[in-house]
Structure 1
Amino acid sequence: MRPFHHRHLTALVALATVLVTATPPTAASADDSPNRRAGYHRVGYFTQWGIYGRAFPVKKLDTSGAASRLTHVNYAFGNVSEDGRCYVDGGAGEGDAWADYQRPVPAEESVDGVADAWGEPLNGNFGQLAKLKAKHPDLKVLISLGGWSWSTYFSNAARTDASRRAFVASCIDLYLKGNLPVLDGGSGGPAAAAGVFDGIDLDWEWPNWPGEPGNVIRPEDRQNFTKLLAEFRRQLDAYGRKTRKHYPLTAFLPANPATMDAGYEGREIFPYLDFATVQGYDFHGAWDAVTNQQSALRVPAGAPDSPDFSAEVAIDGWIARGAPREKLVLGIPYYGRGWTDVTGGGNGLFQPAAGPAPATFEAGYEDYRRLKTLAGNGFTVHRDLRAGHAWLFDGTTFWTYDDPAVVLQKTLYIRRAGLAGAMVWSLDGDDDNATLTKTISLGLATP
């Protein structure tokens, strides 16, 4: 099939609407008031490290048109120390305070065209986010704590009443009050980052469930996660009373029902959250011996695993556990997962493969901006419209990914299911025209 073009958008909207509304209702789609929301959350993760190989500075959020179509930007990531505190990690290979607020951003990369001088209190990404917010005053920026690599000591931070109080206080002091450590040259200092961040996103991967090897895991994480949210809400509200501002609290939640049960008290967590983003990707990847979908809306017919993962399975799982649908935001990937040396012929789906496909930064993982160039260049685009996923195959190499047609179908699902909106990982995977972000904005536009 030919790659998606905007001139096909009207026809695709009509087709996707038929596909979504014709599907038998599930726990997530049996909602009779899909337009009850005044507006949808459109959340994008901005990666600290995207300024390097991906050449994606904060400025691109403005010039691409993405910033004007987002409601929230989550900055990835903030670290948690072994003694349970928010801190700026300058450790080699992990932390990058240089990128955060020390690096003098040149004029050509600056949101307002003004270069940073060495040693200013707020340089780097944080300084650029402040400039972006000045240009887009309705945009909220949240610091996202943890992620896959930095969830090691969340359990320590959440363990006791005293540790929770100290952890939350340290996060508010560092990111909301903006009291940054002073670095070589002078960047940082008291209130240096005040006003950059509007709230906090918890990306603990995962309470009482294996994540990155070496993570501290305790059975009591399940109850302590709820208590940690309660402490965040208490201190954020107390601080907000002083500043006359509401500070959003959000969390990233897993797609795996077993992880949901092991680490979360279901409905108990949602009173403390403004909303929660739900993992809608990494369902399969080159860790599997056969090709598969990594982000399908529904489980495809003929899938080799039963039960299997899908966006709908994840959303239904949370609703079944008491989550209010109006606080669930569906995650959408701006990257694909790939296999190579695929055998078995056909369209490549559900076929044996030798390992991860070669890629730009990480084998088996490629940004949408690069995958879109493969369509028609030796690769054929295949679709399962019923299941809501697409893939690229050239007879040997297979990539599962979300293109604008799939993204649009997911926004229509979000509307019909009465969900709170869409989240994306990550903004630097989009093309220079922010095609995927613009598609989300179009699909979630309110009258």
Structure 2
Amino acid sequence: MRTRLSCLAIAAALLAGGAHAAEVGSYYTGWSIGKGFRLKQLDQSGAAAGYTYLVYAFENVYKMPDGGVRCDSGRDSEDTANGMNATLDYARRFTADESVDGSADRPGQALAGNFNQLAQLKKRHPQLKVLVALGGGEWSHQFPAGAATPALRSALVSSCINLYLRGNLPKLDGHGGIGAAAAVFDGIDLDWEHPGPDDKANFTLLLEEFRRQLDALGKENGKRYLLTAAINSTGDKMRHTDPAAYSRSLDWINLMTYDFHGAWSKQGPTGFQSNLYSDPASGDASPRSVDAGVKRFMKAGVPAEKIVVGVPFYARGWSGVSPANNGLYQPATGAAQGFEEGAEQYSTIAARGLKVFYHPLTRQLWTYDKGTFWTYDDPRVIREKAAYVRKQGLRGLMSWSLDQDDAAFSLSRAMQEVRQ
């Protein structure tokens, strides 16, 4: 009886918050609709049932005439630095054939577009949480100004919560309005890429302000709102932040453990972009790997249960690569050609049926064919990362990005094995 009671007590403690089931997430890009991707495909495949969260990417923050920095919406702009596509967010009308629940968007409907598709997906999959990502690689340049003072931080955070969590969207083509998106998002993912030398304290303070205001909103409506951040895993980026301090405000970190090597170094040498372990033979002055990044953050004071390991659903590649060692760690003449220079989505790479080489130490694979080298994750590689996450007691796995998986969602399903 004593043993049984002890086991029940332990189980109760775990359920009360002493442990977390593994998270499985992916970034869903607003522009993937232009590539033919629909959330309906994820739903009909059955893979949506294995996800615990999606992150909608990206929303921008803008410098305002009064000098402040705030979230904003309600129009479309092609300006790279200050871009916005509110039509895709909540005014683009999906047909019945495109939509998750099979209903067509109508004129005058408060919520249409990607936001409505996310709401439909959540209704079909109650376990699914959806966060909105602020910033990203091109839209992070206003964060330093917006985080500079307590008043600026408060105004920035308040504007984002009002827009995306209270759901008060500007009217656009008959859509939007007060509370229009109130049921869509369960939290915010800060994608400040990347804090500089002068931003260390303010990065922490901005996340503290997000946590404070999210908790206040939660008290209003009896809900726990999530706060996460996408963080580069390398030491050169981490040194401009205080992980032990800022992680206290977060539910977890989406650790970007990829893009270790790529054709931004056009002459190479080739190397792995998301290897689990480092290889002394790589010749790197400071070897990069998933394991090195995870240990770096844990040593800096981040609890293991707040680290979600990122995996790429795309490849990095070079052309004009020397054939020695099947192209690995060899010089190149330029970037391989894919959907963008030096990058190709997994679905395209996998369909080519090229011979795959697997590295037993790094647990990464690559292809080499006619001078072209690609490095990427396949289901086997991701399953090994899932096993690593379980062994290290980490929070889970996430990916960039959902639309780059194949039609069977093979990579998504491999990620979901982290919950087994």
Q: Which residue of 1 aligns with 2:359?
A: 384
The letter of the residue matching 1:318 is F
Contact 1:367-1:430 at 8 Å conserved across structures: yes
Distance 2:374 2:340 in 1: 14
Contact 1:43-1:74 at 8 Å conserved across structures: yes
Contact 1:389-1:401 at 8 Å conserved across structures: yes
Distance 1:158 1:295 in 2: 31
Contact 2:154-2:209 at 8 Å conserved across structures: yes
Distance 1:40 1:367 in 2: 26
The letter of the residue matching 2:322 is T
Distance 1:250 1:174 in 2: 18
User: Comparing 196-205 with 37-46, which one deviates more in the overlay?
Assistant: 37-46
Q: Which residue of 2 aligns with 1:409?
A: 384
The letter of the residue matching 1:338 is G
Picking from 133, 138, 146, the partner of 1:149 is 138
TM-aligned CA deviation for residue 386 of structure 1: 2.0
Distance 2:20 2:168 in 1: 35
Deviations 1:294-326 (A, max 9, x none): 000011241021212111111111111111111
Contact 1:70-1:139 at 8 Å conserved across structures: yes
Distance 2:408 2:323 in 1: 37
Q: Which residue of 1 aligns with 2:296?
A: 317
The letter of the residue matching 1:175 is Y
Mapping of residues 101-180 of structure 1, within 5 Å: 101-180=90-169
Q: Which residue of 1 aligns with 2:419?
A: 445
Q: Which residue of 2 aligns with 1:74?
A: 55
TM-aligned CA deviation for residue 65 of structure 1: 2.2
The letter of the residue matching 1:63 is Q
Contact 1:101-1:124 at 8 Å conserved across structures: yes
1:238 aligned onto 2:216: yes
TM-aligned CA deviation for residue 445 of structure 1: 2.4
The letter of the residue matching 1:315 is V
Q: Which residue of 1 aligns with 2:77?
A: 91
Q: Which residue of 1 aligns with 2:5?
A: none
TM-aligned CA deviation for residue 385 of structure 1: 2.2
Contact 1:65-1:434 at 8 Å conserved across structures: no
Contact 2:24-2:416 at 8 Å conserved across structures: yes
RMSD of aligned C-alpha atoms?
1.3
Distance 1:119 1:148 in 2: 34
Q: Which residue of 1 aligns with 2:199?
A: 221
The letter of the residue matching 1:100 is D
Distance 1:301 1:387 in 2: 10
Q: Which residue of 2 aligns with 1:42?
A: 24
Deviations 1:330-352 (A, max 9, x none): 00000000111112433110111
Contact 1:276-1:327 at 8 Å conserved across structures: yes
Deviations 1:146-201 (A, max 9, x none): 01011010111111000011011001100000001111x21111111111001000
Distance 2:360 2:51 in 1: 27
Q: Secondary structure at the match of 2:58?
A: strand
Deviations 1:23-81 (A, max 9, x none): xxxxxxxxxxxxx844101111000000112x111212212223111111000011111
The letter of the residue matching 1:207 is P
Q: Which residue of 2 aligns with 1:197?
A: 185
Distance 2:31 2:20 in 1: 34
Distance 2:283 2:108 in 1: 56
Contact 1:300-1:384 at 8 Å conserved across structures: no
Return structure 1 stretches of 4+ with deviation > 3 angstroms: none
Distance 1:304 1:373 in 2: 32
Q: Secondary structure at the match of 1:298?
A: coil
Contact 1:65-1:433 at 8 Å conserved across structures: no
1:341 aligned onto 2:320: yes
The letter of the residue matching 2:84 is G
TM-aligned CA deviation for residue 266 of structure 1: 2.4
Picking from 395, 401, 410, the partner of 2:370 is 395
Q: Secondary structure at the match of 1:267?
A: helix
Q: Which residue of 2 aligns with 1:33?
A: none
The letter of the residue matching 1:145 is L
Distance 2:280 2:377 in 1: 18
Contact 1:344-1:352 at 8 Å conserved across structures: no
Q: Secondary structure at the match of 2:326?
A: coil
1:282 aligned onto 2:259: yes
Contact 2:20-2:305 at 8 Å conserved across structures: no
Q: Secondary structure at the match of 1:109?
A: coil
Distance 2:213 2:84 in 1: 26
Distance 1:385 1:201 in 2: 34
Distance 1:66 1:152 in 2: 35
Larger helix share, 1 or 2: 2
- Pick 1 or 2: higher relative contact order, CA cutoff 8 A, min separation 6: 1
Deviations 1:376-403 (A, max 9, x none): xxx3200012211000111311100000
Q: Secondary structure at the match of 1:137?
A: coil
Distance 1:358 1:254 in 2: 25
Unaligned runs of at least 5 residues, structure 1 = 1-35, 209-218
TM-aligned CA deviation for residue 90 of structure 1: 2.2
1:305 aligned onto 2:284: yes
Distance 1:220 1:397 in 2: 41
TM-score computed with the length of structure 1 as normaliser: 0.86
Distance 1:171 1:95 in 2: 14
TM-aligned CA deviation for residue 433 of structure 1: 1.2
